[in-house]
Amino acid sequence: MSAAAPSTPSTSTTPTPAGTRTLPAVTEGAGVWTTGPRGALLGLGVGAILLLVVAPMTLSGFGLDLLGRYLCMAMVAVGIGLVWGRGGMLAMGQGVYFGLGAYIMAMHMTLADTTLEGESIPTFMRQNGVDRLPELWGIVQHPVVAVAAVVLVPTGVAGLLGWAIFSRRVKGAYFAILSQALAAAFAVLIIGQPVLTNGSNGLSNFHSLFGWDLSDSTNRTILFLVVAAVLLTMLAVTWQLYRSRFGELLVAVRDQEERVRFLGYDPALVKTVAYMIAALFAAIGGALFVPVVGIISPADIGVVPSIAFLIGVAIGGRATWLGPVLGSIAVSFAGTQLASVFPSFWVYFQGLLFILVIGFLPGGLASVTGFLRRRKTSETIEMEVTR
Amino acid sequence: MSPRATLSAVLPLIAVLVLTGCGERYDPEAEAAAQQISPESCVDTEGDTVKVGLLNSLSGTMAVSETTVNRSLNMAIDEINADGGVLGKQIEPVTEDGASEPTIFAERASKLIRQDCVAATFGGWTSASRKAMLPVFEAQNSLLFYPVQYEGLEASPNIFYTGATTNQQIIPALDWMREQGHKKIFLVGSDYVFPRTANRIINAYAEAHDMEVVGEEYVPLGSTEFSTIVNKAMASDADAVFNTLNGDSNVAFFRQYNAVGLDAQSLPVMSVSIAEEEVPGIGVDNLEGQYVAWDYYQTVDSPDNQEFVTNFKDRYGQDQVTSDPMEAAYTSVYLWKDMVEEAGSFDVAAVQEAADTGGSEFDAPEGQVSVDGENQHISKTPRIGRIREDGLIDTVWQAPEPVAPDPFLDTYSWAGSINGA
């Protein structure tokens, strides 16, 4: 396949949303943010200095809170990069796992505040005519249980769902639709249980996290540092994953699932594990989003936010290591800035950029330099992404 | 090499967790005390102008309604500025888009207070947006003026509620229906907090007043499928419907309601979320003769209202209508001005103090309103209206005098199950 060819006709019968396009090889060399060990260390080091030192010293409290929110969204993007970019599974419902993590954390924080304030049940429940704490809430009362639930519940759900879906060889657009329907159903479920979840109002008005005062500025800075450190850790983990046997297998499954099966591997297992990791990252992002932003509502977890998570990933470059995270942060930042200047138009800018990238630069902005370099040398390996 | 990469990321995490020994633990009592004395606000009152925030959804599903609120807020500000401003300072509005999302409302509120240093903020529409902003205004100790009727059961010291609470809208509507001889009521609403709370109030009211709720149905926000519900309403022996649907669902509901042959004569509907600006969207044909409950209609006959309507039309076009939330928003700016001038300061504590003691009043388009210092709501005049063939609404009943706000329904003996008392 010629490197300069912008697109090739599809040879697969699988319906593909973006058509069959060439994507830079993800193994070695190609793509500006697909780096070797030295580059990875450098990338993480620069990121660590920027986030852990420069940001807390230069940004105002408000700026730090905003950046904290961007980083939480970026955690979801890292997971999407893994399943979509590397695994070829267009996960359009990551809001489900983001929401699970967020709601578990929010339930715990609401309960902790209630206890500290000397009440037995949260105010919204009392106003809904409930006089006993529902058992589902009682479970997450203890902080250790809550943190364990943030990790275990979403990965468990993703494991069960993933295995059920992938072992039946559901893929391509069918998987995308299924995952999106999940997000829609989950939001409806949350809204429809006002006694348990406070419905469309969501959970908000948190004062403490594990006993620490959330309005204290030192605590807020520490919270930001934790968020930044968690994101950096996720990036280190993904970098290792991408270089591991599992990472190679995942790409192989994306590009030639049948061949992988003939070689004796179970593609369903590989895909399920990737899906579980993405769910875990999304859940951690959600759990940290709650103390940083101070609210979680169904509007943050449904279909629209689930798709919004994809935009940054696509723009940054879904198959690259740092593309999703940088794309996600850039899109969030642009959103905030543009919305202040053009309150009613900014969404169109975002949509236009998304269309342009999907249409003309399927590898995302990360592939720009690789694309240019290839034009010169035409010596790079290319792979076909069919879904 | 690779273990090192992991280590380089995990080390900072550990370091951070160790550092976590520095901040303050949360203590609710200390917090409450701190809020009384520490208004570390950055509001600049030295110059010739004072900034206020206007936070409405200018994009997303709520934009149609909230844009009109934004307009009446701007109109009130311009009027006050032309008249010399507040404490001699011109008001400088800073507009932000809430984008119809609670999280965005919270974030923009934070921006207005911490970055733009506004003296007060006007806006919000859905209960979800208000609930999202409440902790921000409390933590930053700033003021929000919220202009929409809502489900009550709230009284934050940092929020002034200038729309109706339940005893200024839902309870008068029930009183009126009972007077008209309606005994069996069918409830239909969108599935969120306002309809659910409203219907709990209606159930408690019915039980205490020898009325009967013969059906209670909810649809998801934005749902357009009503054939089952309409048929259930028809099959029930209800003599009236109480409608707490919100937004687009009303279009589908009334269309299907009329399609099966129901209308204002055979089975009247009392709606609490349909105002003048929503009528054309639903279609006057489907609504003529139906009832609504608010505290203001464009047709209110008073010099103050005539001036308000004329000015609004001159400013934004002769085809524009005025509605209850717009009027409440307009009123809120004047009430803020009144309280600030009474306090002689833009300081939050001073304004709250002025509200507590002064009993700020304003001759609003709806009639005289006054601030209740205790719960920060305002007294308003409930009105039952009937939709005309031209889409405007006639008052068919109004309270003889403004009704004092009672957000927790403390003065109603039958409401114990609602306020949790």
- Would you list the domain boundaries of chain A? 28-385
Best of B16, B24, B25, B26 to substitute, by most chain A Cβ atoms within 10 angstroms, is: B26
Low-confidence ranges of chain A (pLDDT < 70): 1-35, 343-344, 369-387
pLDDT band at B3 (very low <50, low <70, confident <90, very high): low
Beta strand A295-296 pairing with A382-385: unpaired
Separation of alpha carbons B314 and B319, rounded Å: 10
Kindly report the nearest CA distance between residue B218 and chain A, in angstroms: 9
Give the highest mean pLDDT range of A286-290, A323-327, B189-193, B221-225. Answer: A286-290
Q: Which residues pair with B216 in a beta bridge?
A: B187
User: In this predicted structure, what is the pLDDT of residue B249?
Assistant: 85
Of B63, B97, B417, the CB nearest to A129: B417
Q: Is the pLDDT of residue B14 over 70?
A: no
Of A61, A126, A225, the CB nearest to B16: A225
Separation of alpha carbons A186 and A99, rounded Å: 9
B9 contacts in chain A (CB < 8 Å): 44, 48, 229, 232-233, 235-236
**Residue holding tokens 């949303």?**
A17
B102 contacts A295? CB cut-off 8 A: yes
Kindly report the nearest CA distance between residue B420 and chain A, in angstroms: 6
User: In this predicted structure, what is the pLDDT of residue A375?
Assistant: 55
Q: How many CB atoms lie within 10 A of CB B322?
A: 28
Separation of alpha carbons A155 and A144, rounded Å: 17
The secondary structure element, H or E, covering residue A295 is strand A295-296
A183 and A93 in contact (C-beta within 8 Å)?
yes
Separation of alpha carbons A319 and A363, rounded Å: 7
Separation of alpha carbons A375 and A369, rounded Å: 10
Kindly report the nearest CA distance between residue B305 and chain A, in angstroms: 31
For residue B27 the two structure tokens come to 């203590």
B289 and B386 in contact (C-beta within 8 Å)?
yes
Separation of alpha carbons A175 and A153, rounded Å: 21
Of B6, B59, B103, the CB nearest to A347: B59
B176 and B384 in contact (C-beta within 8 Å)?
yes
DSSP A124-161: HHHHTT--S--HHHHHTTSHHHHHHHHHHHHHHHHHHH
Kindly report the nearest CA distance between residue B139 and chain A, in angstroms: 7
B147 and B325 in contact (C-beta within 8 Å)?
yes
Measured between CA atoms, the residue of chain A closest to residue B417 is A129
Nearest CA among A364, A377, A302, A378 for reference residue A81: A364
Gap between the terminal Cα atoms of chain B: 64
pLDDT band at B329 (very low <50, low <70, confident <90, very high): very high
Q: What is the pLDDT averaged over residues B184-190?
A: 93
Nearest CA among A90, A10, A12 for reference residue A314: A90
Q: Which residues pair with A204 in a beta bridge?
A: A295
Nearest CA among B188, B151, B176, B145 for reference residue B166: B151
User: In this predicted structure, what is the pLDDT of residue A212?
Assistant: 84
A361 CA to centre of own chain: 21
Measured between CA atoms, the residue of chain A closest to residue B18 is A222
For residue A147 the two structure tokens come to 């943190």
Please compute Rg for chain A using Cα positions: 21
For residue A2 the two structure tokens come to 């010629």
Q: How far is CA A291 from CA A53, A68, A354, B365, in A?
A: 21, 10, 30, 42
Of A66, A218, A239, the CB nearest to B23: A218
User: In this predicted structure, what is the pLDDT of residue A132?
Assistant: 82
Separation of alpha carbons A318 and A302, rounded Å: 22
Q: Tens of pLDDT along B20-39?
A: 556 677 776 666 555 544 44
pLDDT band at B176 (very low <50, low <70, confident <90, very high): very high
User: In this predicted structure, what is the pLDDT of residue A386?
Assistant: 37
User: In this predicted structure, what is the pLDDT of residue A173?
Assistant: 87
Query: pLDDT over 70 for what percent of chain B?
Result: 90
A349 and A333 in contact (C-beta within 8 Å)?
no
- Higher local confidence (pLDDT), A16 or B351: B351
B119 and B145 in contact (C-beta within 8 Å)?
no
Give the highest mean pLDDT range of A143-147, A170-174, B197-201, B327-331. Answer: B327-331
Please compute Rg for chain B using Cα positions: 23
Kindly report the nearest CA distance between residue B7 and chain A, in angstroms: 9
DSSP A207-233: -EETTEETT-HHHHHHHHHHHHHHHHH
Measured between CA atoms, the residue of chain B closest to residue A187 is B220
Residues of chain A by 3-state class (helix, strand, coil), percent to 5: 70, 5, 30
pLDDT band at B17 (very low <50, low <70, confident <90, very high): low
Angle subtended at Cα A284 by Cα A279 and Cα A288, rounded to the nearest 5 degrees = 150
Separation of alpha carbons A269 and A163, rounded Å: 7
B388 and B394 in contact (C-beta within 8 Å)?
yes
pTM above 0.90, yes or no: no
Inter-chain CB pairs, A–B, below 8 Å: 198
A302 and A95 in contact (C-beta within 8 Å)?
yes
Of A60, A194, A295, the CB nearest to B132: A295
10 Å CB burial of residue A340 (0-12, 13-18, 19+) is middle
Query: How many Cα atoms are found within 13 Å in the side-chain-facing hemisphere of B388?
Result: 11
Nearest CA among A347, A320, A344, A355 for reference residue A331: A347
A293 CA to centre of own chain: 17
Measured between CA atoms, the residue of chain B closest to residue A125 is B420
User: In this predicted structure, what is the pLDDT of residue A27?
Assistant: 42
Number of DSSP helices (H) and strands (E) in chain A, helices first: 17, 6
Q: Tens of pLDDT along A44-80?
A: 888 888 888 888 888 888 889 999 999 999 999 999 9
Separation of alpha carbons A54 and A43, rounded Å: 15
Average pLDDT for chain B: 87
For residue B292 the two structure tokens come to 């609504």
A72 contacts in chain B (CB < 8 Å): none
Domains along chain B? 49-165+306-379 (3.40.50.2300), 167-299+383-419 (3.40.50.2300)
B72 and B382 in contact (C-beta within 8 Å)?
no
Render the burial of A202-234: b for 16+ CB within 10 Å, e for the rest.
Answer: bbbbbbbbeebbbbbeebbbbbbbbbbbbbbbb
Separation of alpha carbons B70 and B58, rounded Å: 9
Q: Which residues contact A110 (CB under 8 A, 6 or more apart)?
A: A122, A203, A206
B220 contacts A48? CB cut-off 8 A: no
Separation of alpha carbons A111 and A238, rounded Å: 34
Kindly report the nearest CA distance between residue B350 and chain A, in angstroms: 23
Nearest CA among B197, B190, B186 for reference residue B251: B190
Q: How many CB atoms lie within 10 A of CB B222?
A: 12
The secondary structure element, H or E, covering residue A106 is helix A95-116
